Amino acid sequence: FTGSSESLDEAGMSSAITQELSKPIYLNSFSFGVRFNSDIKIDPHFSKYLFRSHFMRKEIIKTASGVTRFNISKARFKKIQIPIPPLNIQAEIVRILDTFTELTAELTAELTAELVARQQQYSYYRGQLLTFEEGEVDWKALGSLAENLDSKRKPITSGLRESGSIPYYGASGIVDYVKDYIFDGDYLLISEDGANLTARNTPIAFSISGKNWVNNHAHVLK
């Protein structure tokens, strides 16, 4: 178990040893180990799932305290009541949860591979469809096609925003909903700064319509 962590949610996170070890193991000062008494019939595979269950996590978190760092109280930890069903029930629970774990891993791998393939396909066709040689089409400077409305942007700190139904845009899209608006119509927003410019988790340019408010982290073109 982790005896100390930077967040309450990670306090007392468990790992179970499910096989005999040929070499000794060592724990640092940020963790502690529990070895069940020989008369306690508990399957290590069952304990692996038990101590990560929602119910047990709630009980373990109750034993932690702190402000910037959270530490498990061993005295309170030792008082936690844990359920110990018969070994045959433990084995059946493990069998069912192992099956779900394997299925989840398989689906995750398949979906990840499919998503990567689709993203590569999209990038390829986007490049093909949006690449033009000089002379094939008309080329114009962006400034001659759109009006830059950056001077009309007004950032509002989160503490001063009045909650409403009008989208409040930033560099990566909608960041909040407010009561008033400064733009009304069809616009193209382009990320001006922020982590999204390098991470590219969301498009750096996107179109918006209707009433809206835009902060100073996105260029506004009409």
Instruction: Give the E-state strand segments of the chain in sequence order.
Output: 4-5, 64-66, 70-72, 163-170, 173-178, 183-191, 205-214, 218-221
Pick the CATH number of 146-221 from 3.40.50.10470, 3.40.50.300, 3.40.47.10, 3.90.220.20: 3.90.220.20
pLDDT at 132: 87
Q: What is the pLDDT along the chain (222 residues), one digit of tens a residue?
A: 999 998 888 899 999 988 888 888 888 888 999 988 888 899 999 999 999 999 999 999 999 998 888 999 999 999 999 999 999 999 999 999 999 999 999 999 999 999 999 989 988 998 888 888 888 888 888 888 899 999 999 888 888 889 999 999 988 889 899 999 999 999 999 988 755 555 556 678 899 999 999 998 899 999
The answer for residues whose C-beta is within 8 angstroms of residue 18's C-beta and 6 or more apart is 44, 45, 48
Q: How long is the chain?
A: 222
pLDDT tens for residues 187-219? Answer: 999 988 755 555 556 678 899 999 999 998 899
Q: Which residue has the tokens 């073109």?
A: 221
